[in-house]
């Protein structure tokens, strides 16, 4: 079950939710047909719950938001982008351990 702390990101809300966010943002670029994306999803939900209020976590379905995927040059998924102050400041591609994701996210706080 998806976490209520995970924001579904689209072309229309990306600016407000990510680029204008006062806290660091972790963006998960994924697709429903991507096995590693599905495996990573519960980890992303856990991070969203654990960092609620300190960081924002959002997911972009690359099939539904192809322009966003192209804008950030997403060529492989899952791709995790880290934003601070409206700028992408880090990226992880592929299924990553939770500790690695948290390490990058917490460094932005």
Catalytically annotated residues: 34, 37
- List, as own/partner pairs, every contact residues 51-56 make where C-beta atoms lie below 8 angstroms and the sequence separation is at least 24, other chains included: 51/102, 51/105, 52/5, 53/23, 54/23, 54/24, 54/109, 55/23, 55/24, 55/25, 55/26, 55/105, 55/108, 55/109, 56/7, 56/17, 56/18, 56/21, 56/23, 56/24, 56/25, 56/26
């Amino acid at each position: 079950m998806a976490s209520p702390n995970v924001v579904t990101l689209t072309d229309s809300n990306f600016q407000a939710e990510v680029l204008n966010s006062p806290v660091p943002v972790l963006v998960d670029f994924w697709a429903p047909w991507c096995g590693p994306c599905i495996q990573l999803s519960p980890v992303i939900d856990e991070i969203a719950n654990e960092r609620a209020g300190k960081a924002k976590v959002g997911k972009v379905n690359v099939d539904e938001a192809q322009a966003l995927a192209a804008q950030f040059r997403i060529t492989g998924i899952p791709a995790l982008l880290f934003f601070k102050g409206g700028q992408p400041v880090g990226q992880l591609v592929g299924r990553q351990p939770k500790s690695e994701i948290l390490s990058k996210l917490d460094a932005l706080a």
